[in-house]
Structure 1
Amino acid sequence: MKPHPTDDLVRTIAHVRDDSLAGFEDRSAARELLADVTALDVTRNKPRVRRRPVIRAAVACGVAATVAAGAIVLTRGGSGPAGPSTIQASEVAQVTSLVAAAARKQPDLHPRDDQFIHVKSVEVTVGADVFDKNGHYTHEKLPRTNRELWLSVDGHRTGLLRESPCPPGRSCDDPLRAYHQAGAPAPGSTAALRSLPTDPAELLKAIDTMDSGAPRPELRWKRIQGLIMEQYLPPKLRAAIFEVLGDLPGAAIDRTATDAVGRAGIAISVPDGIGGHHQMIFDRRTYQYLGTRSIAGPPAGGKLVSPYPGATPYRLPKVGFRPAAGTVTYAAALLSVDVADHPPAH
């Protein structure tokens, strides 16, 4: 084969020692290169791996010069009950950067205040602790649920939550009450959320005090998940949310994540405070958001735990069902988000 002037550079990249793509997140070849690199199972002591077709494409698009500026060696750990693949913080930053760049590129829906955000999703929960009227405990397995939401953009109109399959004798159409105070949009509505800052540090402060006024960092994950899964945020704000996620203490990468409908992806994973972890899952090629899931850690009943790094520890009670470590206790998949003029009649 005829030598090429960039062959030495290509070999360096293929050894997975250089993966800095800063400034090229919006180029398809750069995204494909990072996806290819993060899928490799490599360490310093393993044979060097060459994937010339993808690398050559990156060079052709002018990415190689920037890639060569990095100096990162990735180390992959197990992805079983103990948690996600262990990875250097540098890769978390790389994936977060690509995820945020993909979010910024999405077109803004520009919903009007008199319209509705229409969200379709799927939700799977491993089960729930149930106590009957006599106080007897059982563990109830829950089926896969299809969810469809119509959220009033300003919160001043009655919305709708529709779930299926619907148990016999029960309505699965739940009206979402309108906010009747005149003037400003309803708290937590799409219109109100537009005012959130896009600077990640300021946004984290806003998330910590959302709905309470006082800082509640133990609720970060729940609030972030709610903003991403069943709400609409403008592209720049959505990108900032993902940047916040990647900066949370203990953030790691799981390359083997799967959402509630079986779509495989790469996940940003954060500790849940009791030995397990929460994940947001993204497409491996496009870095578009797919869904979320929670994974149980080792049994923690009776142990001192912290809801988030730096919090005051508390002792977890030994009650209820505790799934085995590594069990996916909750999973959700976002199918579509669009704008509607009104919810359906119910």
Structure 2
Amino acid sequence: MNAATPPPGEAEAAELARLLPETDENEWQLPPGRHLHHKDVLMQQIDHDHDHHMDRSRARQAAPAPVAATPRRRLLRPAVLMPAAAALAAAGILLATLPSDDTDGVRDMGAGEGATANAAVTLDRIATASLKADTPRVKAGQFVYIRSLVQGNEGKLDGEVKLGAPYKQQMWMSQDPAPVTNIGMIRESGKGATMPGQDVPIEASAVDGSDDSGAIPEGPERPTYNWLASLPTDPDALLKKLYAETEPADERETKAQAVFNKIGDLLGQTVMPPENAAAFYKAVAKLPGVTEVPDAVDAAGRHGIGITLDESSYATRSEWIFDKKSFEYLGSRGYMTKNHKPGGKPGKAGNPEVLYGSDAVLERAVVDQKGMEPESAGERG
């Protein structure tokens, strides 16, 4: 490779950027904190392609020079509700947001306003049901296992949303309370998977462990069972802590939206003590703008009750789904609520919203090793 040739990966990125339409202030974008999972997957694929290219180049040389392991990008919240096009936005290609009606920038929306009456009643029932859940205790050396069904957008950047085929996702998250660089692993399979058949590490530093400067301790960005158990179980105290420690993604996101999204991440991707789960649901009932959706459907086709908060600054709406009888958490959905291209409409006439992604939590368990499936996997066949 001569000095005039760009490194592998950069040429492809430049070509993608050239082909993409120029951004407009009316183009939509998800909150930056929601991009992290697919950004990491995209970056790891670029790293993989770079390493593969270098391996082939060294094979043609008599005395190959050693190449240091490529550092992996930090992944803090492996969210799954993410259209495929937004992975490019996460990589810095598309960064425009919808204009906000909030002229004050970030507004600290006080917790005293509360959710609507219907949502508050439903959240109280969910909290009561969660106290009766048979939740296993998690030891420091174990991994929380989450098996989900995921469906995302495969449409073009400047075109209509086109949902891809649902695919299976398995995730293992380390419960070690000490700072770690090897946080966990994601495994996907199925037609719609981003990297089917591959175990994608969730890491905060170099793969070979040579650099531990990015090690992450247990806490808000790596919520272990032990850390969750340390949180206040009084909903007012918990909400005060969340407001103090949760930062909005940017100047357009309100505190209430940031806290709602943070709690949503925890509900879908962790195992926590029943008392703490109940406190989170009661805290959500105190957030302004939270409403109930009478009928919501997860990626597995299960109908339930939805709890939602409109993220008007990003032209999106997140929705959590709970079983109508047991009030167990089923999954979540994401909608676009405003135009995402000049002159375009998010949905058909009479339906101003369009679904851009959904997931369904099919199983939660605790296992002793990363990559290990719970015993119930044998029952699934």
Report the TM-score, using the length of structure 1 for normalisation: 0.58
2:139 corresponds in structure 1 to: 112
Matched, 1:99 2:133: no
Q: What is the deviation of 1:183?
A: 10
What do residues 287-310 of structure 1 show as CA deviations (whole Å, max 9, x unaligned)? 11111112332x356xxxxxxxxx
- The 1:321–1:150 alpha-carbon spacing in structure 2 relative to 1, beyond 3 Å, is farther
2:279 is equivalent to residue 254 of structure 1:
no
1:150 aligns with 2:172: yes
Query: Is the contact made by 1:152 and 1:189 (CA closer than 8 Å) also made in structure 2?
Result: no
Structure 1 residues 322 and 99 mapped into 2: Cα distance closer, same or farther (>3 Å)?
A: same
In the other structure, the counterpart of 2:188 is: 163
- Residue 319 (structure 2) aligns with: 279
Equivalent residue for 1:17? Answer: none
Hey, what's the Cα distance between the residues in 2 that align with 1:171 and 1:145? 11
The yes-or-no answer on 1:327 pairing with 2:354 is yes
Alpha-carbon distance between aligned partners in 2 of 1:90 and 1:113, rounded to the nearest angstrom:
40
Instruction: Using the aligned pairs only, state the percent identity.
Output: 25
Q: Does 1:202 align with 2:237?
A: yes
CA distance in 2, matches of 1:211, 1:128: 32
CA contact (8 A) 1:115 1:341 kept: yes
Of 164, 185, 198, which residue of structure 1 is paired with 2:218? Answer: 185
Tell me which moved more, 203-212 or 154-163.
Answer: 203-212
**Mapping of residues 104-143 of structure 1, within 5 Å:** 104-127=131-154, 130=157, 137=158, 141=162, 142-143=164-165
Residue 89 (str. 1) matches residue 111 (str. 2):
no
Residue equivalent to 2:282: 243
Which digits, 9 at most, give the CA deviation of each residue in 1:236-282, with x for residues without a partner?
A: 11112222223322222222111110111112222222565322111
SS in 2 for 1:247: coil
Gaps of 5+ in 1: 1-87, 131-136, 302-316
> CA separation in 2, counterparts of 1:263 and 1:189?
27
* Residues 110-161 of structure 1: per-residue CA shift (max 9 Å, x gap): 110100001111122244554xxxxxx5667433221101100126355210
| Matches of 1:318 and 1:99, distance apart in 2 | 41
The CA distance in 1 between the partners of 2:216 and 2:201, in whole Å, is 22
2:206 is equivalent to residue 172 of structure 1: no
Contact 1:266 1:281 in 2 (8 A): yes
Q: Show structure 2 runs of 5+ residues with no match.
A: 1-114, 206-211, 373-381
Instruction: Give the AA of the match of 1:245.
Output: V
Shift of 1:89: 3.4
Native 8 Å contact 2:236 2:283 kept in 1: yes
Answer whether contact 1:129 1:321 (CA < 8 A) is retained.
no
Distance of aligned partners of 1:99 and 1:208 in 2 relative to their CA distance in 1, 3 Å threshold:
same
After superposition, the C-alpha distances for 1:72-96 in whole angstroms (9 at most, x for unaligned) are xxxxxxxxxxxxxxxx933322211
Tell me the C-alpha RMSD between the 2 structures. 3.4
Partner SS, residue 97 of structure 1: helix
Q: Which residue of 2 aligns with 1:263?
A: 302
The Cα of 1:337 is off from its aligned counterpart by 0.8
Structure-to-structure mapping, 1:299-310, within 5 angstroms: 299-300=338-339
Compare CA radii of gyration and give the structure with the larger one: 1
- Counterparts of 1:319 and 1:161 in 2: how far apart (Å)? 38
Structure 1 residue 320: Cα displacement:
8.6
| TM, length-normalised to structure 2 | 0.53
Aligned residues of 1:127 and 1:329 also touching (Cα < 8 A): no
CA–CA distance in structure 1, aligned partners of residues 148 and 194 of structure 2: 22
Which residue in 2 is equivalent to 1:227?
266
Q: CA deviation at 1:321?
A: 8.1
Helix, strand or coil at the partner of 2:312: coil
Q: Residue 234 of structure 1 aligns to which amino acid in structure 2?
A: P
Map 1:31-46 → 2, pairs under 5 A: none
Alignment match, 1:295: 335
Distance 1:185 1:123, change over 3 A: same
Distance 2:261 2:344 in 1: 21
Distance of 2:167 and 2:369 partners within structure 1: 23
Partner Cα separation in structure 2 for residue 332 and residue 194 of structure 1: 26
Distance in 1, matches of 2:117 and 2:228, equals 31
Match for 1:189: what amino acid?
Answer: P
Give the total of aligned pairs.
Answer: 236
